[in-house]
Structure 1
Amino acid sequence: MSDEKVRSSVEAARDPAQPVLPTVNPNIEKPQPAQEAAFHPAVYIATWITLSSSVIVFNKYILDTAKFHYPIFLTTWHLVFATFMTQFLARFTTILDSRKKVPMTGRVYLRAIVPIGIFFSLSLICGNQTYLYLSVAFIQMLKATTPVAVLLATWGLGVAPPNMKTLGNISFIVIGVVIASLGEIKFVMIGFLFQCGGIVFEAIRLVMVQRLLSSAEFKMDPLVSLYYYAPACAIMNGVVCLFTELPVMSMDDIYRVGTFTLLANATCAFLLNVSVVFLIGKTSSLVLTLSGVLKDILLVFASMMLFKDPVTLLQAFGYTIALGGLIYYKLGADKIKEYLGQGNMKWAEFGAQRPAARKIVIFGLVLGVMFLMVAALGPRFAPESSDKLVSGIGKMLHEKDT
């Protein structure tokens, strides 16, 4: 199996803690639309980034800030909700009609879907457990090693022969994450081990999915995959929750977080899977990968602003190296030069056609960067002013609610 085929299973593996299933068969030909898309591709990219970031921040808020320390129950709830929604869509809409082309039998389900579902459940459980111990910023930095784990899993399971050149290309990712880990202030070993376990389980799952999709008969997009995986994963997670968290849980814990909050959380997680289908369908898996890099950077800043997670300069330096290594591994030197050249041409054409609009874009980007830097560094250098600002916003929102 070529490196390109191996990479196709990695491209969507940006958030192993979430029920996003990057199971797109690279052999599927995209249907040519009869008319132009209703929305610009940027709309689909922005929607996916917003939903993906919202799910991560939402999970962190529920499990850590709201003190709902039941990550297995939360994962089970997500999967139960996803099972209900996919069954509903399959019966009353045409969104999941492509499932009828999948030769799914009881034997195939037990031998292929259930084992993959086991590793999917384990990756979700470990990923959500991590939020109890580590900051969102540090978790995103660790997730940059997912392509490395997938590559090693392909070699270990015999899907692809070892390639030392490829190993050298991904070494920068490992070096960057190691530097970022050394700079982490709130390092908790148990949380680090949970995140490593989640990455390993997710890597094995992705390789198993790649082997399943090596046959042209299995043409499943992420939503169809969720239709098959969600019931099995919900049952497995439910059994684990029954013997671990459910005996110590009470309805007071749920009421404290809020049933509406849990419903909104599960809805965001499900809509994330839907947005992946549209994003890949309207753009490409490469755009999904690059959007994931942008999302991770924004999440680091969001973590610093919302949860006041400290990020040291050593961490920022290491994470920059890791992201650079990730982009180089995905694209290669030739592709990077090609895309940079195309980008410069598009930017020059845009400036020639709409000079005023380009100035507005530049001003907006500079203003946005300055706002993010001030908001991120404010809690460290001016904690009293930052606390007053946050409390003032909280009082304004409370007054509006009342």
Structure 2
Amino acid sequence: MADEKERSSGEIPRPEPKGPILPTTNSDAEKSQPPKSPVHPAFYVITWISLSSSVILFNKWILDTLDFRYPVILTTYHLTFATVATQLMARYTTLLDGRKSVKMTGRVYLRAIVPIGLFFSLSLICGNLTYLYLSVAFIQMIKATTPVAVLLSSWAMGLAPPNMRQLLNVSAIVVGVVVASFGEIKFVWIGFLYQLGGLLFEAIRLNLVQALLSSAEYKMDPLVSLYYFAPICAAMNGAVALIWEVPKVSMGEVYNVGLFTFFLNGMCAFLLNVSVVFLIGKTSAVIMTLCGVLKDVLLVLASMAIWGTPISGLQAFGYTIALGGMIYYKLGLESIKTYAGEVGRHWAEFGATRPALRKVVVIGAVLLFIFVLFSGLAPTYAPEYNPSQYLAGAAEKVGVSS
């Protein structure tokens, strides 16, 4: 009887629905979801790397190649340009609407913004002074120690308790930069000290900003921060420039650079701050860390290509250690293992789908490594060859006067 019930129940057809068939998805929920951005995040990454590299190379070109040796005036111009641009954007665009949620008062401005602006100005002045003495490549190598300076200054300022494990984690960065400094061919002490000063001031500024932003009522994106910091920084730098550089500069030196060149330089520096806002909003902190490392490497290569900056093998070795230490400190071992596994999986898939192209990439990378290694490490065994003396000797033997 039970078997008959089971068979008969299985043979009963399901009744057809009398009403309309309901959709399987919630159309209202789909409408409420924000539309996907038509721009790929890679666009923001490429834009930020391009603008960040361009500003550094642009400044080096103006201060060194065009012989406009007034870094404080150039920095004051950048900050004045940023002040005017952010004021206009606050009035005619929505990009700075985030400032409306910041409870900024006169007391907060004097107690927090002014000190941060002071150290921001000092870091910019020292950073631009460095371009007068050191190569872009070596400057980027020294900048790898920024996490170390931030860590040590946070301990000194009482913002964080000393942690020997953290200090051990960043020790590889210090070792790498020390090795790179020993390998630097054109080492200038005054430029090196200016760069260390710039790193120290920048580290103090970052710690002050972190202390300010630890409260939810002062959360600011980089563009809103520039809106508040640019005016006070421009005033401070302008006061230094009036005493230090304005009496020495001539209009001939300004016209030698060109007013349009100055405008492009200021626009490039300002657009860099705008690109940072979009990069933070569209990517993650991990992507920003890796992009920063990639940007530094590209800057070193660009410096070698544009100015013929010599890079020794010892210097390249030390910089590689510093970059590896910086990635380890910012990401951590577990994150590095995770991303390394992802890279390995994608590399294996690439080899399975395009084996010939993968072989070409491997061979090209090996050849490039060998070329860079031997061009940096190989000593010069032969003296400089000058054929004119041998030609003159041969001409004298055959009785021909030169």
Three-state SS of the structure 1 residue aligned to 2:95 is coil
C-alpha change, 1:107 and 1:86, in structure 2 (3 Å) is same
Moved more, 337-346 or 302-311: 337-346
Per-residue CA distance 1:234-273 (angstroms, 9 max, x = gap): 0000010011100111111110011111111111111111
- The alpha-carbon deviation at position 218 of structure 1 amounts to 1.1
Contact conserved, 1:170 with 1:325, CA < 8 A, in 2? yes
Q: For the residues of structure 2 that align with 1:364 and 1:237, how far apart are their CA atoms?
A: 50
Partners of 2:351 and 2:358 within 8 A in 1: no
What do residues 30-72 of structure 1 show as CA deviations (whole Å, max 9, x unaligned)?
A: xx98111221111111111111111111000000010000000
1:163 match: 163
- Report the counterpart of residue 14 of structure 2 in structure 1: none
**Residue matched to 1:53:** 53
User: What is the rounded CA distance, in whole Å, between the counterparts of 2:333 and 2:305 in structure 1?
Assistant: 35
Whether contact under 8 Å (1:301, 1:372) holds in the other structure is no
Q: Does 1:277 align with 2:258?
A: no
1:359-374 matched pairs, under 5 angstroms: 359=357, 363=361, 366=364, 370=368
| 1:58-110 deviations in Å (ceiling 9; x for gaps) | 00000001000000000000000000111111100001101100000111111
Residues 80 and 334 (structure 1), Cα distance of their counterparts in 2 relative to 1, 3 Å cut: same
What is the TM-score normalised by the length of structure 1? 0.81
Cα displacement (A) at 1:289: 1.4
Any conservation in 2 of the 1:127–1:198 contact (CA below 8 Å)? yes
Spell out the pairing of 1:212-227 with structure 2 (5 A cutoff).
Answer: 212-227=212-227
Q: Which blocks of at least 5 consecutive residues in structure 2 are unaligned? A: 1-31, 385-402
Higher RCO (CA-CA < 8 Å; seq separation 6+): 1
The 2-side partners of 1:141 and 1:208 are apart by: 25
Q: Identify the residue that residue 127 of structure 1 maps to in structure 2.
A: 127
**Corresponding letter in the other structure for 1:127:** G
Q: Give SS of 1:309's match.
A: coil
What pairs with 1:30-49 in structure 2 (closer than 5 Å)?
34-49=34-49
Amino acid at match of 2:101: K
- 1:144 and 1:325 map into 2 onto residues whose CA distance is 9
Q: How does 1:92-171 map to 2 (within 5 A)?
A: 92-171=92-171
| Aligned residues of 2:350 and 2:358 also touching (Cα < 8 A) | no
Task: Specify every segment of 5 or more residues in structure 1 that has no aligned partner in the other structure, as ranges.
Answer: 1-31, 385-402
Task: Answer yes or no: is the 8 Å Cα contact 1:121–1:233 preserved in 2.
Answer: yes
| Alpha-carbon contact 1:83-1:230 (below 8 Å) kept | yes
Residues 103 and 217 in structure 1, CA contact (< 8 A), matched pair in contact too = yes
Determine the structure 1 residue equivalent to 2:354: 355
Aligned residue for 1:317? 317
Residues 373 and 60 from structure 1, CA distance in 2 versus in 1: closer, same or farther, beyond 3 angstroms?
farther
- Counterpart of 2:396 in structure 1 is none
- Tell me whether 1:62 sits opposite 2:62 in the alignment: yes
Cα deviations across residues 126-185 of structure 1 (Å, max 9, x unaligned)?
000000000000000000000000000111111110000110010000000000001111
Q: How many percent of aligned residue pairs carry the same amino acid?
A: 65
Q: Which letter maps to 1:44? A: Y
Q: State the TM-score, normalizing by the size of structure 2.
A: 0.81
User: Which residue in the other structure is 2:266 paired with?
Assistant: 266
The whole-number CA distance in structure 2 between the counterparts of 1:43 and 1:350 is 23
Q: Distance in 1 between matches of 2:298 and 2:363?
A: 13
CA distance in 2, matches of 1:365, 1:120: 46
Partner of 1:178: 178
Give the distance between the partners of 2:272 and 2:371, measured in 1 at CA: 28
Q: How many residues align?
A: 347
Check the 8 A contact 1:76/1:234 in 2, yes or no: yes
Q: 1:289 to 1:365 in 2, by over 3 A?
A: farther
- Distance, in Å, in 2 between the alignment partners of 1:163 and 1:311 is 35
- 1:89 equivalent in alignment to 2:89: yes
1:11-38, Cα deviation, whole Å (9 max, x unpaired): xxxxxxxxxxxxxxxxxxxxx9811122
In structure 2, the CA distance between the partners of 1:360 and 1:344, relative to structure 1 (3 Å rule), is closer
Cα distance between partner residues in 2 of 1:350 and 1:41: 22
CA RMSD of aligned residues (A): 2.5
- Aligned counterparts of 2:242 and 2:89: Cα–Cα separation in 1: 28
Q: Does 1:288 align with 2:288?
A: yes
| Deviation for aligned residue 1:217 | 1.0
Cα–Cα, structure 1 residues 193 and 159, in superposed 2: closer, same or farther, change >3 Å? same
One-letter amino acid matched to 1:57: L
Equivalent position amino acid for 2:50 in 1: T
| Alpha-carbon distance change, 77 to 373 in structure 1, aligned in 2, over 3 angstroms | farther
Report the secondary structure of 1:246's partner residue. coil
2:331 aligned partner, one-letter code: L
AA aligned to 1:243 is: I
Q: Supply the AA of the counterpart residue of 2:354.
A: P
